[in-house]
Amino acid sequence: MKRLSLFENLLFSAIISIHLYAAFSDAFNLPNFWFSRDDAYYYFKTAQNISLGLGSTFDGINLTNGYHPLWMLVCIPIFYLARFDLILPLRVLLIAIGLLNAVSAVLIYRLISNTLSRAVGILAASFWAFNIYIHEVVYEPGLESPLAAFAVVLFIWKLSQFENEWRTKPITSRQIAALAVISVMVMLSRLDLIFLAFMGGVWIIFRGKPIRFLLPLDAVIIFSAMTASVALRTGLVFYNDNYAASATEAVFLALIIKVTLLYFFGAYQHPGEDSIWTTIRKTAGAMSIGTVLVAGIYIVLLQMGLGRNFPRTAFAIDWGISTILILVLRLAARWFSKDRSQAKISPIAELQSNWKKWLADGAVYYGILGGALGLYMLFNRLLFGTSTPVSGQIKRWWGTMDTIYERPAHTWQAFFGIGYQDAFNTWQPASNLFLWIAKYLKPIYPGSNTLDERYYITMLLFALLALILFAVNKRQTLQKITKMALIPLAAGSGLQILSYTTTAYSGAKEWYWISQMLLVVFIGSLLIDLILQPMQLLPVQAKKITTLTLEITSIAAAVFLAYQFSGYIYRIMAYNTYPADKPYMDVVQFLEENTAPGSVIGMTGGGNVGYFIHDRTIINMDGLINSNDYFQALQNRQAPEYLRSRGLQIIFANVQLLDQPPYYGQFRPYLVNFGVYGGKSLSYLLDAPK
């Protein structure tokens, strides 16, 4: 605490105090108003079983890897305490989440205040710490998101420090290794953050070269152009059902070939070296040859039986989209960049003079990142029979059928992650601001069903405002974007979105979009700073008074946000309101009254029931926290036999739900109903069909 400034101390203390208040409130509050998401209890029960020596299992029967590993490591020692009291670890975890929130907020303050200004830093840190939407999505569910947010903020903060260091002194392998270790933390906190970790390596290795700015954004363009081209050719429904896998294969091929050609055509040289016509020629040449090679190689793979079904005309569509977007990026980079005064250098000469350094730095960074990923996948393969979490595999399987669970991206807004109506609303809390403003546009753009149009008009207006501010302050914008490492963060966020929306992933959740929330906060901070930029032109004394006024205003805003947030916590985490013996879940009481001790019960979901139920075992039937063997049985429609062989006696589920995909009615012949609760049937699972 001695290392914290006065504001950091106050911010840290406020966050911890609020979380301590919540942690010691009535026991009933914790499972019902804080840790209310069923998915969180997949971690909690599995962590409890690991601490008991039962292995990585939710039900004590089936081994599972359906979780992000680093959060599970955090949960294991905490849920060792569950042997004494089921609520005690929830209280401890809530305090741990408060600590993660506090440290993340302090790092955000340091990043923004060092790069922009203290006033904006105060606003950004307070907004992150006390915004109720961010709290409800990131910190309240009890999932891995608090740790993921901390890891991302730490990584960006360290990249910001790195930006100062490499410009003033040589960088050692030890420094790169330290950044790589943090990137491993980012990846293991949420495995889909591997895109940010990977782009961080590009940002580090190619420091001082234009390629560090262009390549990450090129990757997003190539990924989105190829997949969108296939979807345009086939339609989103057929894309999700039949073409998502082949489109993803083509993306990897396109990334390797097109990036390589762009480099050797000179499209990664300084944007100011060439005329506009030369830039167009280089870009179009690289993309044209790249498209021909990608199409030719993929068609050969199809003929050899190694590829999958693919609409060949999509390659032509991809050429048009990707060429235009990458050319626009080059022209924008040319406009933003400083005038080039040094001698022009060819790509081959640049490679000859830098390849040893790039190779050495890349070997350190990607050796550590790739080595950690390889060890994780090998461990999973040996222990669980599959290299990646079974939960992600199941959700992509769901995306290939019309299930009762959430659908994959089925609109173009969702496909690009810019919708606001479902789990692919990836740019919160900015989306809420756009919706709020859209309501006030109704008199200008009337109509009872025009909310979509007004929402996207608002988004466009904000984009135009940002472009104007960037144009007026392009030198400062480039410096600050660089210092805040917004390029790798934006590219990593974009690729993460595409990894879900373009791969027929079903069941995405709002807490996936951690890096996007942080990017919104950082870009919002940058825009506020640019709006305040004219104050830099004031006389010295007036500038001091204005700066002090802004800081006081920011502190007042922080106090207001903290007051609102504490009021929200006060309302939901009450004291002396619920009797100590009040059941945490009525459904648990029903199951205990209607099943015998020792019963093995199957449920779709069942995380919180599995944690709180006594003398009974809950087996997860949707497979998200079950074994790879069960996933195979479910696909082969042998799930009833598999579960019966594991001792399952009773199923508590909506029978109509079990008649639909992904279950396809395979349980119906084995069920004999003997009870009903909340629209779900309590049934015996027979040894053989009726």
- State residue 515's pLDDT score: 96
Across residues 69-82, what is the average pLDDT?
97
Closest CA to 621 of 641, 601, 602, 640: 602
How far apart, in whole angstroms, are the C-alpha atoms of residue 453 and residue 430?
16
How far apart, in whole angstroms, are the C-alpha atoms of residue 191 and residue 595?
38
3-state DSSP percent of the chain in helix, strand and coil, to 5: 70, 5, 30
- State residue 29's pLDDT score: 95
Across the beta sheet with 671-677, the strand order is 617-620, 600-603, 650-653, 680-685, 671-677
The phi and psi torsions of 560 (rounded to 5 degrees) equal: -65, -45
- State residue 343's pLDDT score: 60
Tell me, letter by letter, the H, E, C secondary structure of 564-581.
HHHHHHHHHCCCCCCCCC
The model's pTM: 0.94
pLDDT at 341 over 60: no
Specify which residues 602 forms β-bridges with: 619, 651
pLDDT digits (tens, 9 = 90+) for 40-54: 999 999 999 999 999
pLDDT at 485 over 80: yes
How far apart, in whole angstroms, are the C-alpha atoms of residue 284 and residue 113?
41
pLDDT digits (tens, 9 = 90+) for 162-183: 999 999 889 999 999 999 999 9
How far apart, in whole angstroms, are the C-alpha atoms of residue 63 and residue 404?
26
Residue burial 570-600, b: 16+ Cβ < 10 Å; e: rest: eeebeeeeeeeeeebeebbebbbeebeeebb
The CA–CA distances, whole Å, from 243 to 136, 183, 227, 306, 638 equal: 35, 32, 9, 15, 27
Whether the upstream peptide bond of residue 389 has omega within 30° of 0, thus cis, is: no
Chain centroid to CA 267: 30
- State residue 147's pLDDT score: 97
Q: How confident is the model at residue 336 (pLDDT cuts 50, 70, 90)?
A: confident
What are the residues whose beta carbons fall under 8 Å from the beta carbon of 201, sequence distance 6 or more? 180, 183, 362, 365, 366, 369
Contact 243, 202 (CB under 8 A): no
Residue carrying the six token digits 């300084």:
270
**DSSP class per residue in 209-223:** STHHHHHHHHHHHHH
Closest CA to 141 of 296, 35, 277: 35
Contact 684, 649 (CB under 8 A): yes
The CA–CA distances, whole Å, from 410 to 13, 186, 419 equal: 44, 29, 11
Contact 307, 245 (CB under 8 A): no
Specify which residues 683 forms β-bridges with: 651, 673
How far apart, in whole angstroms, are the C-alpha atoms of residue 447 and residue 432?
20
Q: In 38-145, where do the E strands start and end? A: none
Q: How confident is the model at residue 339 (pLDDT cuts 50, 70, 90)?
A: low
Choice among 15-24, 183-192, 560-569, 575-584 with the minimum mean pLDDT: 575-584
- In three-state secondary structure terms, 184 is helix
Q: At what angle do helices 194-205 and 173-189 cross, to 10 degrees?
A: 160
What are the residues whose beta carbons fall under 8 Å from the beta carbon of 431, sequence distance 6 or more? 420, 425
Whether the upstream peptide bond of residue 77 has omega within 30° of 0, thus cis, is: no
Q: How confident is the model at residue 631 (pLDDT cuts 50, 70, 90)?
A: very high
How far apart, in whole angstroms, are the C-alpha atoms of residue 419 and residue 119?
32
How far apart, in whole angstroms, are the C-alpha atoms of residue 548 and residue 117?
11
pLDDT at 337 over 80: no
Q: How confident is the model at residue 448 (pLDDT cuts 50, 70, 90)?
A: confident
Across residues 576-592, what is the average pLDDT?
92
Q: How confident is the model at residue 153 (pLDDT cuts 50, 70, 90)?
A: very high
pLDDT at 609 over 60: yes
What are the residues whose beta carbons fall under 8 Å from the beta carbon of 490, sequence distance 6 or more? 216, 217, 220, 519
- State residue 543's pLDDT score: 80
How far apart, in whole angstroms, are the C-alpha atoms of residue 255 and residue 318?
13
Closest CA to 31 of 78, 603, 22: 22
Chain centroid to CA 131: 18
Contact 617, 45 (CB under 8 A): no
Across residues 138-145, what is the average pLDDT?
96
Residue carrying the six token digits 């060792």:
80
pLDDT at 399 over 80: yes
- State residue 420's pLDDT score: 86
Across residues 485-500, what is the average pLDDT?
96
Across residues 649-668, what is the average pLDDT?
93
8-state DSSP, 345 = -
- State residue 307's pLDDT score: 66
Percentage of the chain modeled with pLDDT above 90: 75
Chain centroid to CA 237: 24
pLDDT at 221 over 90: yes
Across residues 269-277, what is the average pLDDT?
83
pLDDT digits (tens, 9 = 90+) for 520-554: 999 999 999 999 888 877 787 888 888 888 999 99
Using alpha carbons only, what angle is made at residue 400 by residues 396 and 401, rounded to the nearest 5 degrees?
120
How far apart, in whole angstroms, are the C-alpha atoms of residue 260 and residue 433?
40
Across residues 295-314, what is the average pLDDT?
83
Specify the higher pLDDT residue, 430 or 541.
430
Q: What is the largest CA-CA distance in the chain?
A: 88
Using alpha carbons only, what angle is made at residue 622 by residues 617 and 627, rounded to the nearest 5 degrees?
70
